[in-house]
Amino acid sequence: MPKLRIKKSRRLIFALLFLLCLTFGAWLWWREREEALNFVRYEEFGIDMPVNYSIHGIDVSRFQKNINWAAVEQMQVERIHISFAFIKATEGITRQDALFKQNWQKAKKAGIVRGAYHFFYSTRDPLKQVINFQNVVQLEAGDLPPVLDIEVHNNQPPAVIRSTARIWLEEMEKAYGVKPIIYTNMHFYETYLGEEFDRYPLWVAHYYQKERPSTQRHWLFWQHSDIGRVNGISTTVDFNVFRGDSLALRKLCLP
């Protein structure tokens, strides 16, 4: 092989190695940044907040009573303000949250990205639970996907919980054309759901500990506190973060 070709090959190899090292270094920097979780106390919100995340939200039900959504949206402390809200809609086959409709309408009017959740029972007919949700919730473009709140086993074996949850999730995906979000804690997920549900976006409950949810399973939302405070709400409220930026949050919503 001529010397010129050898020199060119060496230069190409060195360039590729340099790019590889650069890429690996960037990945390490991102990983360290992701792993170095930092909580900061915000007295205005009444809790320590994980400031590694830029998108913050709440979840509410009738227990938060009448909410002034304009005040919720207008509250901002440094870079933290409420960008999204999950709102309880239904439970089981017959129950509807008494304040859902007004929360649903006023959250949108205030400019907060909204999502609706259903509290699920594996002891109830999953198709009737689908109907209950769809009769109450009118999802629109810009809303978050429907949420399956599944956190009680009611003495049912994992196989029953998986089969009933699967029906609810699949029916919702057919109806709205997006994968529903699963809300639960990691113990319940790993014990009663498992890998076959890994294709669904996960909203994980994990609070009272200043560390991320202990799981290799990718999650999108993290409920990190249930004792937060925000203007416009007279009670304590659950606080969440979204694992992404505002563009990723919008992309997750219904088209």
As a dihedral over the C-alpha atoms of residue 211, residue 216, residue 217, residue 218, rounded to 10 degrees, the angle is 70
Residue 81 and residue 230: Cα distance in Å, rounded?
A: 9
Across the range 63-71, mean pLDDT stands at 99
Q: Among residues 59, 91, 143, 171, which one is catalytic?
A: 59
Model pLDDT for residues 126-158, shown as the tens digit of each residue: 999 999 999 999 999 999 999 999 999 999 999
Average pLDDT over residues 187-197: 96
Could you give the angle at which helices 158-176 and 126-136 cross, rounded to 10 degrees? Answer: 40
Higher pLDDT, 40 or 18: 40
Q: Which two tokens stand for residue 210?
A: 């200043």
Report the b/e string of 184-218 with b at 16+ CB within 10 A: bebebbeebbeeebeebbbbbbbbeeeebbeeeee
Q: What is the pLDDT of residue 215?
A: 82
Scored b (16 or more CB within 10 A) or e, 2-11 reads eeeeeeeeee
Task: Enumerate residues 6+ apart whose C-beta is below 8 A from 4.
Answer: none
Q: The whole model's pTM is what?
A: 0.86
Q: pLDDT at position 2, please?
A: 60
Give 92's pLDDT tier (boundaries 50, 70, 90). Answer: very high
Between residues 208 and 166, the one the model is more confident about: 166
pLDDT band at 25 (very low <50, low <70, confident <90, very high): very low
> What are 94-129's pLDDT values in tens digits?
999 999 999 999 999 999 999 999 999 999 999 999
In this structure, are residues 55 and 84 in contact, taking their beta carbons and an 8 Å threshold? yes
For the record, the structure tokens of 4 come out as 């010129």
Of 214 and 91, the one with more pLDDT? 91
| d(C-alpha 119, C-alpha 89), whole Å | 8
Assign 90 a pLDDT band (cuts: 50, 70, 90). very high
Among 224, 228, 226, CA closest to 243? 224
Active-site residue flag, 151: yes
Read off the tokens for 224. Answer: 């990190």
Mean pLDDT across the chain, nearest whole number? 92
Q: Catalytic residue at 59?
A: yes
- Output the pLDDT for position 33: 45
pLDDT for 211 equals 87
Q: How many CA atoms, within 13 angstroms, populate the side-chain half-sphere of residue 162?
A: 13
41's CB contacts (< 8 A; 6+ apart) are 47, 48, 49
Q: Where does the pLDDT of residue 23 fall: very low under 50, low under 70, confident under 90, or very high at 90 and above?
A: low
Residue 154 per-residue DSSP state: T
**Beta carbons within 10 angstroms of residue 173's beta carbon:** 15
Q: Which of 48, 125, 151, 226 is catalytic?
A: 151
Among 97, 7, 29, smallest CA distance to 59 is for: 97
- Higher-confidence residue of 225 and 27: namely 225
